[in-house]
Amino acid sequence: MLPTIDPTSAEHDLAGWQILLIFALLLLPVLATLFYYLVFLNLAEKWWSFRYKIFPKDIPLNIKTELVNHQSFYRDLPPELKYRYEQRLMVFLKSKKFTPKHMPAVTERMKILIAASAVQITLGLNRYRLKDFRDIHVFPDRYWHKYAGKSFKGHVSSRRGLICISWKHFEHGYDHPDDGINLGLHEMAHAVKLQLIRKDVNFRFLDKFEHWAKVGRKKLDTIRAGKNTLLRDYAGTNLDELFAVSVEYFFEQPEDFRDQLPELFQSMCDLLNQDPIKKELLNQKT
Ligand SMILES: [Zn+2]
C-alpha cells in the first residue's frame, strides 16, 4: 500500500519556516539595539576611559577653542585641573550618543559644551562618566513630554538613561555665565545625583549628600516660609530641585553663595570635592 501524501504538508512546513524567518528579521533590530546599548557603548566607554588614562592625548584645537570661547569655568582653571578636565571631556564625548530631535544635527560645538557641563560638576569626583546615562537628546527649544503632559526645557530619565536638553535654553546658560541660570548644569546635576546615589551607589558621595541634605532641608524650609535669599524660588520645589538649582548658583555666583549661604556652600564644596572660588579640589584623591 502506497503511503498517502498530504499535498498541503509542504506548504505548511514552508509557512512555518517563513513565520520563523519573519520573526527573526523582526527580532534582529531589537537585538542589534540591545547589543548597541548594553555591550557596545559600555565597552566603548571602558575603552576610551582606559585609553586616555594610559595614553593621555592633547585636546584637539577645535575643542579647546570652543572651551576657551564659551566656558569661563575652564578658562580660569589652573593647568593641572585644565588637563584633568580635557581628558575627561574627551572620554565623555566618545562614550555618549547625541541624538538630534526636531533639528537636523547635533553639532560638534553642541556636543562639546554639553559634555563640558557634566565635566564641570564632576571635576572633583572619581566617578565622572555618568556611565548609565548614555543617551543625550538635543531639541532646538522647549519640547512636549507626552507622559508628563507638559513642555520641558530639559529633563533626565533615570530609567531610560537619557538626558534631554533644549539647546536654546542650554546656550542661554553659557551666554550669561553669572545670572545663576544654567540649564546644562541643572540637568547634569540631576544626572550626577541619580547616577551616584541610585544607579551605581558611590558611598562617599552618598555620605556627603546626606550631610548636604540636612543643610538643604533647612534652606527648603526657609524658601517655603517666604524668606528666600539668593536661590530662585523654584529651588523650593523639593530637595532634588534645590540641589540642581544650588549647583547652578555654586558655579555661576560662588562668592554670593559663600557669603549669603555659607553652610550650604561648604556642604556643596564637600560634596563635589571642589571649591569654585579658589579653583581647586578639596581632596586630590577623592
Ligand atoms: Zn530640575
Q: In this predicted structure, what is the pLDDT of residue 16?
A: 78
- The C-alpha atoms of residue 22 and residue 171 are separated, in whole angstroms, by 46
- Number of domains present in the structure of the chain: 1
Q: How far is the CA of 187 from the centre of ligand 1 (A)?
A: 6
Residue 98, domain member (yes or no): yes
Residue 24, domain member (yes or no): no
Q: In this predicted structure, what is the pLDDT of residue 211?
A: 96
AA identity, residue 199: K
Q: In this predicted structure, what is the pLDDT of residue 22?
A: 82
Q: In this predicted structure, what is the pLDDT of residue 49?
A: 66
Residue 286, domain member (yes or no): no
Residue 9, domain member (yes or no): no
Residue 86, domain member (yes or no): yes
Q: How far is the CA of 195 from the centre of ligand 1 (A)?
A: 15
Query: Could you tell me the CATH number of the domain that includes residue 92?
Result: 3.40.390.10
Q: In this predicted structure, what is the pLDDT of residue 285?
A: 67
Q: How far is the CA of 128 from the centre of ligand 1 (A)?
A: 20
Instruction: Give the domain range for residue 204.
Output: 37-281
Q: In which residue ranges of the chain is pLDDT below 70?
A: 1-14, 37-38, 41-42, 45-46, 48-49, 51-53, 285-286
Residue 187, domain member (yes or no): yes
Q: How far is the CA of 257 from the centre of ligand 1 (A)?
A: 19
Q: In this predicted structure, what is the pLDDT of residue 42?
A: 67
Q: In this predicted structure, what is the pLDDT of residue 185?
A: 98
Q: How far is the CA of 34 from the centre of ligand 1 (A)?
A: 29
Q: How far is the CA of 188 from the centre of ligand 1 (A)?
A: 9
Q: How far is the CA of 75 from the centre of ligand 1 (A)?
A: 27
Q: In this predicted structure, what is the pLDDT of residue 35?
A: 77
Q: In this predicted structure, what is the pLDDT of residue 80?
A: 92
Which residues surround the ion ligand 1 when the cut-off is CB under 5 Å?
Answer: 241, 244
